[in-house]
Amino acid sequence: MNKNIVIIGGGIAAVNAIKAIRELDQISDIHLIQNENYYPYYRIRLTKSLFEPLTIDKLMIQKQDWYEQNKVHLYLGREAVAIDTEKNKVSLDNGTELEYDQLLLANGASNAIPKIEGIEKSNVHSIRKLSDIATIRAHVADKHVILCIGGGIQNLEAAWAMCSQGKKVTIAEFQDRLMPRQLDAKASEILQNAVKSNHVQILLNTAITKITGTKEANGAVTKNGRLIECDMVIYSVGIRSNTALYENTPLEINRGVVVDHHMKTKLDNVYAAGDIAEIDGRVGGLWSIAMEQGKIAGYSIAGKEASYSGTVPVTNMNAFHLSIFSIGDIDENSSDHTLVEESPDDSTYQRIFIKNNRIVGAIIIGDPGNNMLIKKFVENKLPLPDIDFTKTTVEDLIQQIKSK
């Protein structure tokens, strides 16, 4: 049966949904609404290549002809402005109306705007779109001191990029260490020392309350009254699902659009996936989660039984002369054993978390050569050989699982 499938949003969830649909259904019409003028691209690469030569061709998730081959009708640079769930119509900002049999909401999230006085000043930036990179590049040449509000992955990569341009950088982080969700205390310490060794100032347990200046920022003030010098600000303090479009519909909205494990909303023909979707009270917020949810939504739309059962969180970062890899559950209190190896100069650090004779998490700083092997064991919940973990090193474990 030929159906009209409309997808709002042009991220990885949308692309993976199209792939899944086309595995089972080659004839239905698919309409993809993307509010940027570009084909869907890898947003996670933006801060990784802030000052490198960057073209959309290098960033695109799929090449242009893939959309033609899969008979996807693209609406680039168009915004969905209204949804009528009774008439099954989506209205675009140019007056176009698209009728749908099934609708996928995949319009993601926006960067959360912190409640800081002066956050609206012209040289205060956040990175979510390709145009944000262009804006920063266009205005950074005469800037000397960059304040990064938030010490997560995105801002650490941005800080590293600014260092590479000879800028003085300060990172203000609300929590008591860097990347606490991805790293244990020792790994955070190694990262912090590497950042400081590149002449970056780190302010932990620090909340910014005000950005000073008239039209442009010329400084910031912390909660305890400390003045921080800066002439550009980049903030990254989490995300907020783009739910505004759905507020006057019957859809259930909390943090995101609420879905079940088939990625279906309370309306039988409407699905949601990626950063817009809330499942079990949580919004994913990770690329890997959006990939999997998009696939599950696509299968569900095409009529295949599929259920989202969670995605193992994976973090990769290369910055400040460190390669950092983190995967899975890194809470030592929920593990039966942890294996740790570290070098005296802190150039390498490896910690493997084991529970029920399986690797459930890992932190690797240094050589990434075994990262994919560890990822395979974590994601597939593969059993480990019969080992006395109290007498085993990380290297011993790696050698044994390589031979499996």
DSSP assigned state of 115? -
Length of the chain: 404
pLDDT, position 207: 97
With vertex at residue 77, the alpha carbon angle to CA 74 and CA 82, rounded to the nearest 5 degrees, is 85
Indicate the helix (H) or strand (E) that contains 125. strand 124-125
pLDDT, position 2: 84
- 181-186: long-range contacts at Cβ-Cβ below 8 A with a sequence spacing of 24 or more? 182/153, 182/313, 182/315, 182/324, 182/326, 182/330, 182/363, 183/324, 183/326, 183/330, 183/363, 184/330, 184/332, 184/351, 184/363, 186/342, 186/349, 186/351
pLDDT, position 370: 95
pLDDT, position 395: 92
pLDDT, position 189: 96
pLDDT, position 137: 94
> Could you write out the DSSP letters of every residue in 60-113?
BSS-HHHHHHTTEEEEET--EEEEETTTTEEEETTS-EEE-SEEEE---EEE--
- For each of the domains in the chain, give its residue range(s) and CATH number, in order of start: 4-110+239-302 (3.50.50.60), 124-235 (3.50.50.60), 321-402 (3.30.390.30)
> Model's pTM, two decimal places?
0.93
The answer to whether 200 touches 163, Cβ cutoff 8 Å, is yes
pLDDT, position 58: 86
pLDDT, position 404: 67
Nearest alpha-carbon partner for 269 in 249, 284, 285 = 249
Query: pLDDT (tens digit, 9 = 90+) per residue, 272-317?
Result: 999 999 999 999 999 999 999 999 999 999 999 999 999 999 999 9
What is d(CA 61, CA 383) in angstroms, rounded to the nearest whole number?
34
What is d(CA 259, CA 99) in angstroms, rounded to the nearest whole number?
22
* Burial (CB count <10 Å: 0-12, 13-18, 19+), residue 227: exposed
Token pair for 34:
């993307």
Low-confidence ranges of the chain (pLDDT < 70): 404
The answer to whether 17 touches 6, Cβ cutoff 8 Å, is no
